[in-house]
Structure 1
């Protein structure tokens, strides 16, 4: 006589979650196509990940192998890639389920619950009070141009989970805005924010302003990292991750005057060896005026004016040479003004 398998509270909860996936996925499938990604993400977060997270915290009446039925339901009813866009920890958890990496998935769910969930059964702590703080930060590991989530199971010889399960490279994007753009004292002063998502911004990051002009001309200027208090979070895993996410640079206008025409600005950021680049647009930061200064600036026989591309919103510096007559007139005017000022030269 074959003994019936023992069904514990935890395993029953996981079975109920697996059974609910079919019904919930059917409801999502009947919804408008534009709403489906949101519905699937809510399903994976609330009815899959959060349920497992609760089981790992509540005790010993469930086992990593109890995830098998839940993993089968995810593979059968939830389209591949529906987890994209979730919190990276949750996304990796769902990928582990699809891979049948149950030990790593169980350990990760418990790690995700640290500082977030109370056990259902009351527990006393030595110092008293709550043992909850905040969600753990996401550690990353950079290998060449690839960025991996350094979470339970990553390159762990006990479980041999493929690296691609932890690969978050596509989520590492350059986020940037422009706070100031000023033409003054023979230079273009630029400052703003620029950092790579998921990575820590530091003073050692390589930040470069690149202006692309006529005839494939290029002018590159290194920027200086700046501390930005508004990027410091009051609490949580991202507390100071972006504290040094600001930058400032000065471009010598003489370098642009060699090729009159339109120069488009780009920002390049290299963090931990990972390189990203994008157009430097006129999107404004939260602490500055929304309008770009567009007054024409005259310096050493050339005119300079800031504008933007209506299609890409890229910052553009228009450079033009003054005709010889205008140059002579400007020189005479300056001479008169210098003589009119006591001590002028």
Structure 2
């Protein structure tokens, strides 16, 4: 049982930094505590608590921990004893940037965040995806991002959240405990912020915890059971499970299938992994996984261990060529090993990547020529060629769903490439959207009309909103109404169209019926 010292008002601080000591080299510990002493937030606004298994080391470093109440050297420390409004957990090999705590606390206060995730660099045991830190986010969405993919506790947590949820940081060193703690806090948080820019944290080399191959399926099982306790069945649980399938169980099965084990041992551990999949693998979680891993898991679930081993070797091969794509009836399939192999007879859906096709697009220019809206830009699939183009501009009325489609003219551009440098020469387009005469012969009627691009190549089609990705040359300030046609309903009225940009930066047109201005106005 933890004993709780009383916290007096004069003891309160902005942040408590808990440093876990685990036989780190002396120079690493010196760098860690030196970075804490240099914090721009000021020593009077923080407290530092060294925690570890070696009393002599804790005692020595406790003398360097300043701010708040003098911390006691303890092996275990409870969040109930934190003097800070926020708490962050570091390893003794980590270092903080000089302004790290100031930036993290400022973000937490400004955004009213329960958890703040700062950009980091160095060999993290569970790194966050780099794209998460392209820009700071006041309110990051746990369920549509990969925030949950980083379950290290080197984040800023609101102390009140941890106390309210009875979450205490585990100091046992048991593998998986830190991830379970962080997972619980992330899911419980009402708001999560991301601080991008210069790294807040530099991860040092942590002691390696080597989990025996035979025990890895059990670790994955434990973490997935914990994830299932955090979210009900459905998309959110699938999101959490997909992370543990992609990280822990992928690591476990890859090791099982490739490690130099005896045939009996490999069979036994493969059966354990199969049981984990049978217990936790949902169709929703499977759909979120990279296709090669999904195929490997499907083979394991079917008891096809030899084929699963082949798939694990394929995944591990860094020199393999990119798989070909097969396009049939508007669907795209990746021709991975065992695609339409009559042996395992895996379903085509497992290889379907249609929904993973990504469109690169940009609106290059927009303007009126009388009642015709002229559009130019480019749009193509990153993963497909620009053959068999059937792209259209779609004009859709926001309330009724009524729509009009307009052809585009391809503009060959030999300097147009995808992100990997492959040519997409026929991806440039221009279009004339005639507001005066639609397919019915009448003008576009009054309403809010949103513009979309139905991008179509090689028989594959995906619709994207038009406008939020645009050239700097596009004028987003002009809102002058344009007369497009006499009103079909009243000889005294005319139809006017006004371009505008939504809050998300997309292009829309407001068509209204009004009395035309008097001559000379």
TM-score, length-normalised on structure 1?
Answer: 0.64
Structure-2 separation of matches of 1:144 and 1:309:
35
User: Of 303, 306, 313, which residue of structure 2 is paired with 1:110?
Assistant: 313
Preserved CA contact (<8 Å) 2:274 2:303: yes
Q: Which residue of 2 aligns with 1:336?
A: none
Preserved CA contact (<8 Å) 1:57 1:113: no
Q: Which residue of 1 aligns with 2:247?
A: 46
| 1:73 maps onto 2:276 in alignment | yes
Q: Which residue of 1 aligns with 2:334?
A: 149
| 1:200 maps onto 2:200 in alignment | no
| 1:168 maps onto 2:350 in alignment | no
- Greater RCO, CA 8 A, separation 6+: 1
Q: Which residue of 2 aligns with 1:318?
A: 511
Could you say if the C-alpha distance between residues 80 and 210 of structure 1 is closer, same or farther in structure 2, counting changes exceeding 3 Å? Answer: closer
- SS at the partner of 2:289? coil
Preserved CA contact (<8 Å) 1:101 1:161: no
- Once the two structures are TM-superposed, the CA of residue 29 in structure 1 deviates from its matched residue by 3.0
Preserved CA contact (<8 Å) 1:49 1:109: no
- Once the two structures are TM-superposed, the CA of residue 203 in structure 1 deviates from its matched residue by 4.5
- Once the two structures are TM-superposed, the CA of residue 173 in structure 1 deviates from its matched residue by 6.9
- Once the two structures are TM-superposed, the CA of residue 67 in structure 1 deviates from its matched residue by 3.2
Could you say if the C-alpha distance between residues 265 and 92 of structure 1 is closer, same or farther in structure 2, counting changes exceeding 3 Å? Answer: same
Structure-1 separation of matches of 2:396 and 2:385:
26
- Once the two structures are TM-superposed, the CA of residue 82 in structure 1 deviates from its matched residue by 1.8
Preserved CA contact (<8 Å) 1:21 1:74: no
Q: Which residue of 2 aligns with 1:218?
A: 404
Could you say if the C-alpha distance between residues 70 and 158 of structure 1 is closer, same or farther in structure 2, counting changes exceeding 3 Å? Answer: same
Cα deviation per residue 1:117-146 (whole Å; 9 max; x = unaligned)?
xxxxxxxxxxxxxxx5xx753533222243
Preserved CA contact (<8 Å) 1:209 1:267: yes
| 1:307 maps onto 2:508 in alignment | no
User: Of 388, 393, 396, which residue of structure 2 is paired with 1:209?
Assistant: 393
- Once the two structures are TM-superposed, the CA of residue 48 in structure 1 deviates from its matched residue by 2.4
Structure-1 separation of matches of 2:221 and 2:401:
59
TM-score, length-normalised on structure 2?
Answer: 0.45
- Once the two structures are TM-superposed, the CA of residue 23 in structure 1 deviates from its matched residue by 1.8
How many residue pairs are counted as aligned between the two chains?
Answer: 293
Cα deviation per residue 1:18-59 (whole Å; 9 max; x = unaligned)?
222222223323446697545422321222224444566666
User: Of 400, 411, 430, which residue of structure 2 is paired with 1:248?
Assistant: 430
Structure-1 separation of matches of 2:437 and 2:223:
61
- Once the two structures are TM-superposed, the CA of residue 269 in structure 1 deviates from its matched residue by 2.2
Q: Which residue of 1 aligns with 2:459?
A: 273
* Structure 1 unaligned blocks of 5 or more: 1-11, 116-131, 331-345
- Once the two structures are TM-superposed, the CA of residue 150 in structure 1 deviates from its matched residue by 1.3
Q: Which residue of 1 aligns with 2:29?
A: none
- Once the two structures are TM-superposed, the CA of residue 306 in structure 1 deviates from its matched residue by 0.7
Structure-2 separation of matches of 1:230 and 1:113:
33
Structure-2 separation of matches of 1:111 and 1:270:
32
Cα deviation per residue 1:149-190 (whole Å; 9 max; x = unaligned)?
211111113332232332334445767564542224663222
Q: Which residue of 1 aligns with 2:195?
A: none
Preserved CA contact (<8 Å) 1:232 1:243: no
Cα deviation per residue 1:258-290 (whole Å; 9 max; x = unaligned)?
415344423222232223335x34423475668
| 1:140 maps onto 2:343 in alignment | no
* Structure 2 unaligned blocks of 5 or more: 1-210, 487-494
- SS at the partner of 1:232? coil
- SS at the partner of 1:110? helix
| 1:159 maps onto 2:360 in alignment | no
| 1:19 maps onto 2:253 in alignment | no
Could you say if the C-alpha distance between residues 163 and 38 of structure 1 is closer, same or farther in structure 2, counting changes exceeding 3 Å? Answer: closer
